[in-house]
Amino acid sequence: MPDKTSFLTFLTHSLSASGAIIALFALDAVYIGAWERTFLWLGLALIIDGIDGPIARWVGVKNRSRFSGARIDLIVDYLNYVFVPAIAFIKLAFLPFVPSLVLASFMLLSALFHFSDTMSKSEDHSFLGFPAIWNVVVFYLIIFQPSALLTFTIISLFAALTFLPLRWSHPFRNRRFRSLTLIATMAGAMAALWILNVGFPAPAPAARIILAVAAFYGLILVILNATIWRDVRGIDEL
């Protein structure tokens, strides 16, 4: 008979795997143009991705099952962070169909390299290279509506940054300025929910400002990691 730990392991894997069903619901919303619903589903996937790791460590699922929670997590993340946003990008028609298809291909291919990178995490839990958060990128494109040229540049740049070993701080495991990073992350999440509640296009300037500041803060951390914080050894919270 399976013991309590085996049952908890199964439930933990099932929580992670539920992200595949969420991706299906999000994709259905994409095809009917229900963009608020699309990003609500993708937001739920983000929440599950944020909690399933700590739950798995608490339960102690490693080596307790023939099924790999890490593999489930990678597959589900690729669906919700990359595949669904790439389809959404094409359907939103920021650019004509052919350029949109090319840029969506950039997203899919660069993300494959990120997810298959055996050295994608640094000692301080940062991501090495752009962490394939195309769900966030496409959301920002909807909010700020950049020109076609700027859109092409943004997608191409982030795809290229996948292959550069710059450290992108994890929003919850960043050890430098941890409290400030958490505040910026939560403020950005609240602003996104505010916009989704009101509906696209975003009519609330304050929410747009909060999102812009949160993104700017994240990029500043990348620059600091590449310059004055290049040595990741002996990191203490500041």
| pLDDT per residue rounded down to tens, the chain (238 residues) | 455 567 777 778 788 899 999 999 999 999 999 999 999 999 999 999 888 777 777 776 666 667 777 889 999 999 999 999 999 999 999 999 999 999 999 999 999 999 999 888 887 778 999 999 999 999 999 999 999 999 999 999 999 999 998 999 888 877 788 889 999 999 999 999 999 998 887 668 899 999 999 999 999 999 998 888 776 654 444 4
pLDDT at 236: 46
Backbone angles phi, psi at 165, to 5 degrees: -80, 45
Residue with tokens 């602003």: 191
Within 13 A of 91's CA, how many CA atoms are on the CB side? Answer: 16
Question: What sign does the CA torsion over 86, 91, 93, 99 have?
Answer: positive
pLDDT at 227: 87
pLDDT at 2: 52
Residue 126 burial (10 A CB sphere; 0-12, 13-18, 19+): buried
Cβ contacts of 110 within 8 Å, gap of 6 or more:
130, 132, 158, 159, 160, 162, 163
| Fold entry, domain 4-226 | Four Helix Bundle (Hemerythrin (Met), subunit A) (1.20.120)
pLDDT at 11: 77
- Contact by Cβ (8 Å): 181, 174: yes
Longest dimension (CA), the chain: 61
- The predicted-structure confidence for 91-142, as pLDDT tens digits, reads as follows 999 999 999 999 999 999 999 999 999 888 887 778 999 999 999 999 999 9
Residue 49 burial (10 A CB sphere; 0-12, 13-18, 19+): middle
pLDDT at 202: 64
Q: Which two tokens stand for residue 58?
A: 């608490």
- Looking at residue 97, what DSSP letter applies? H
Listing DSSP states for 118-183 in one string gives TT-B-TTS-EES----HHHHHHHHHHH---HHHHHHHHHHHHHHTTS--EE--TTT--TTHHHHHH
For the chain, what are the domain ranges? 4-226
pLDDT at 174: 78
The pTM score is 0.90
pLDDT at 160: 97
Q: Which of 64, 214, 205 is nearest to 136 (CA)?
A: 214
Residue type for position 130 = F
pLDDT at 156: 97
CA distance 163 to 174: 21
pLDDT at 4: 55
Backbone angles phi, psi at 48, to 5 degrees: -60, -40
